[in-house]
Structure 1
Amino acid sequence: MPKEQFLTVRINDKCEPLDRGDIYEDPLDEALQKESLGEVTGGGSQLNENYKIEYCELEVTITGELEKTKQFIINELNKIGIPKGSKLIHDNVEIEFGNKEIMAVCFSNILADEVYEKNDINDVLEEFDELLGEDGEMANHTEIDDETIVYFKGTSFAKMQKAINEYFTSNELCTNGRILQET
């Protein structure tokens, strides 16, 4: 039996801990254990000086053959859809991978009360989903300071932005909002 080894998966995603578990941690752990290659033994989030999530990590204990397991992890996370710029780290060697681009749609949380009374953010998100079609999907969200940020992942930031831009610029709930590409 191969010697137990450890590696880190640094995910270029700003998801909250519960989302990290649902999106990445639990599915990867299940897949690794099913193939008897290892297990996810921990996870965390790196915060910046403003207490915003910069990225999240998974700690993996490998019980299978190292190179096979590393490739398995990359393949499984790419199936899930993991942001470009994610890294697999073992013995200070980083392998960059990922197949999704991230679009952050930032909504102001300080609009006039009438705007919130007349509009529902869920309607806006449903319209984004419709407009994005196969080009993107909502991944997660977070609230920071005076804004709510909703993250979408897809194969092309430019396609996602183009798909929602007209609606975004004309919707009252998007006033003072921004669309950013996360890297």
Structure 2
Amino acid sequence: MDLTLQLNARLRPNDRGDLYENRLDEYLKKEGIGECIGGGTMQLASGEIEYCDVNVSIEDSYTALDTMKKILKEIGVPKGSLLYNDEVYLPVGDLEGMAIYLNGVDLPDNVYDQCDINQVISDINIRIENVGSFYSYWEGPMETALYFYGSSFYNMRKQIQVFVKHHPLCQKCRIEQIA
């Protein structure tokens, strides 16, 4: 049975592969019930990623479908994700998502010159390590989005409030819940 896992996740293709396709393929093969057969990415008109898909082929049985659900629970899938085909429509996921949109044009030039976005990602990851982690990013013409997923949007946002308020690169940023 071929299924599509539509992930409510904003992931670049390589990140989708590392975080979901490769891991899911490994689990399915280990369980002896199937394999990943592809994936794709849907973009908004702005170029920002809206969601992504992972295509799998598993045995046509309730046992295989139950095993697939357990694997997804273990891997961690964002809320609002779906596992479906013509016969199956199953909402999946319990992770929440947080996007931090860093202003890419309105800050003083010295902020962009002196601040390292990779250090910002690392510093945020340290602050949210018990509730979430960095998954991917998007670079647009006016802003850069950093995507984090974890058990609680509220707790992730709460744990970075002081950091975001005081870090020069985070000035004029916006934070949104994305899952």
TM-score scaled by structure 2? Answer: 0.92
Deviations 1:35-58 (A, max 9, x none): 221111111012233333211111
Q: Percent identity?
A: 37
Contact map agreement 1:32 1:38 (CA 8 A) in 2: yes
Q: Shift of residue 122 of structure 1?
A: 2.4
RMSD: 1.5
SS at match of 1:14: coil
| 1:151 counterpart letter in structure 2 | Y
Cross-structure match for 2:2: 6
**Which runs of 5 or more residues in structure 2 are unaligned?**
none
In structure 1, stretches of 5+ residues that fail to align are none
Structure 2 residue aligned with 1:156: 152
Residues 151 and 60 of structure 1: CA distance in aligned 2, closer, same or farther (over 3 Å): same
| Displacement of 1:24 | 0.1
Q: What's the TM-score, normalizing by structure 1?
A: 0.90
2:142 to 139, 146, 152: 146
- 2:22 — aligned with what? 26
The 5 A counterparts of 1:1-183 are 5-62=1-58, 64-110=59-105, 111-183=107-179
Q: Is the 8 A contact 1:24 1:77 kept in 2?
A: no
Aligned residues: 178
- Provide the rounded CA distance (Å) in 2 between the counterparts of 1:121 and 1:180: 18
CA contact (8 A) 2:102 2:172 kept: yes
Name which of structure 1's ranges 133-142 and 11-20 shifts more when overlaid on structure 2. 133-142
Whole-angstrom CA distance in 1 between matches of 2:45 and 2:27: 35
